[in-house]
A and B are shown apart, each in its own frame.
Chain A
Amino acid sequence: DAGVTQSPTHLIKTRGQHVTLRCSPISGHKSVSWYQQVLGQGPQFIFQYYEKEERGRGNFPDRFSARQFPNYSSELNVNALLLGDSALYLCASSQPASRGTYEQYFGPGTRLTVT
């Protein structure tokens, strides 16, 4: 298993455009989480999906949306891009786990630059 994969690796968009980022979880993992990591900061939680349903959402505007497909892969969509959306977007997959044993496996990230 190649682990969590994300595409594209990096991309450049213009303000006002929209973007779609993709993530494939580890085989057998049913949960996918998305994070935004701005330079110099830790990852900020955007969404978690489990069994194709949104289970958690961070403090991000409605311009951010996501979905999970029957094969558990996921897309993150961002509309009306702003310069401040420039960041590394991380995807993590996980299995349901008992308390305290939760572990997320991260992908390499997609570097988004908005000009």
Chain B
Amino acid sequence: AQRVTQPEKLLSVFKGAPVELKCNYSYSGSPELFWYVQYSRQRLQLLLRHISRESIKGFTADLNKGETSFHLKKPFAQEEDSAMYYCALHTGGFKTIFGAGTRLFVKA
């Protein structure tokens, strides 16, 4: 079965603390994985994609095929990082499966 699991609905950290948003996937093919973010009163938007191996707004995510994970990390959280984060799996060119999302709250 094709599935994306984000085990935490809510993650609350203090400003300056490290952040890790967990994502696990189930897919028999070669996965294309993404993180999307939705800030308050804004549209859902792409944050980063695994193939780019890029750092966006200080966030990075590494695809671990052995553990079927694609966790999102940032060493020092900022208040402006507070948002809803969705992990997504793109399959077969035509379908994207989203996780249930994790709400990140960064406290001052």
Residues of A within 8 A of B (CB): 3-4, 33, 35, 40-45, 48, 50, 55-56, 58, 90, 99-108
Contact = CB atoms under 8 A, between A and B. Distances in A.
Among A42, A58, A101, residue most surrounded by chain B Cβ atoms (within 10 Å): A42
A92 B75 CA distance: 31
Contact of A99 (B45, B46, B51): B51
Contacts of A45: 95-98
Given A102-B32, A106-B45, 6 more contacts: A3-B43, A42-B98, A56-B92, A103-B46, A104-B96, A105-B45
Decide if the interface of chain A is mainly helix, strand, loop or mixed.
loop
A101 B90 CA distance: 10
B72 to A, nearest CB: 14
Given A41-B100, A56-B92, A56-B94, A90 B44 contact: yes
A80 to B, nearest CB: 25
Contacts, number: 59
Interface of B: 4, 6, 9, 32, 34, 43-46, 49-52, 86, 88, 90, 92-101
Contacts of A102: 32, 34, 49, 90
B43 A107 contact: yes
A42 B86 contact: yes
Nearest to A100: B51
A105 B45 CA distance: 7
Given A42-B101, A45-B97, A103 B86 contact: no
26 contacts: A4-B43, A33-B96, A41-B101, A42-B4, A42-B6, A42-B86, A42-B99, A43-B44, A45-B96, A50-B94, A55-B93, A55-B94, A56-B92, A56-B94, A100-B32, A100-B49, A101-B49, A101-B51, A102-B32, A102-B34, A102-B49, A102-B90, A104-B96, A105-B45, A106-B44, A108-B43
